[in-house]
Amino acid sequence: MEILVATHNRGKLEEMRAIARGWPVSLKGLSETGIDLDVEETGLTFDDNALIKARALFDRWAGPVLADDSGLCVDYLDGAPGIHTARFAGRGASDQANYRLLLDKLEGVPEEKRGAHFHCSLALVNPQGEAVYQGRTDGGIALEASGTGGFGYDPVFIPEGEHRTLAWMSPEEKNAISHRGRALRQFLEERFPHADPLRRRR
């Protein structure tokens, strides 16, 4: 099954392809279709924004579409940056600018109060209807950025039970515990229940 993923983010697309490896799906990004779509995310929740993007793209594609809205929710900041994660430091801000601002806002906050989680809402829109799948990864915010892998806030997020940030983990390690990995596997297991279970990566 060919599915269009509503993203221009190459890192996100490659991550999703790695998670879906071995399943009967082929994931395509917007850059591979020639579709230039910039959707204003006006929703109040991750679910809302994921569905807004998926619906807008489905109107142009007419085949199955996946769109995710993911974000980092920090306890000390009352859940911020939340749905504003990608533009925390302003529209068009770099990953580094975003996580540097986060570290600045948490300056002086002790480790025990730096709890956080990543959330992913993955919306599917296809001719048969709509569905939303959710994934979550708990952890905390590091005192400083470290690691060279991943993207986004990976250099400052330490998953629960770990001492390393996501940016220090291999792609396989990260995908096994990531919020996006959990949401995407939920979709795959529901839609393809007879796929070879040995191929499923948890």
The pLDDT of residue 33 is: 86
The lowest-confidence range among 12-16, 132-136, 165-169, 180-184 is 12-16
CB atoms near residue 94 (< 10 Å): 10
197 preceded by cis ω (within 30°)? no
How many independent structural domains does the chain possess?
1
Contact 194, 176 (CB under 8 A): no
The CATH number of whichever domain residue 117 belongs to comes to 3.90.950.10
The lowest-confidence range among 28-37, 146-155, 162-171 is 28-37
pTM for the model? 0.90
Quote the domain boundaries for residue 159: 2-199
- What tokens appear for 19 in the block? 């998670």
Percent of the chain with pLDDT over 70: 97
The pLDDT of residue 196 is: 64
The pLDDT of residue 201 is: 47
- The C-alpha R_g of the chain, in whole angstroms, comes to 17
CB atoms near residue 88 (< 10 Å): 20
Query: Quick check: 39 pLDDT over 90?
Result: no
Which is catalytic among the residues 69, 75, 154, 196?
Answer: 69
The pLDDT of residue 150 is: 87
Is 47 considered catalytic here?
A: no
Query: Quick check: 23 pLDDT over 90?
Result: yes
The alpha carbon of residue 8 and the mean position of all alpha carbons in its chain are separated, in whole angstroms, by 13
Distances (CA, A) of 159 to 98, 146, 164, 178: 19, 13, 8, 9
The pLDDT of residue 34 is: 81
Percent of the chain with pLDDT over 90: 78
The pLDDT of residue 118 is: 98
CA distance 125 to 9: 20
pLDDT in tens, 68-93: 999 999 999 999 999 999 999 998 89
CA distance 126 to 23: 18
CA distance 98 to 80: 12
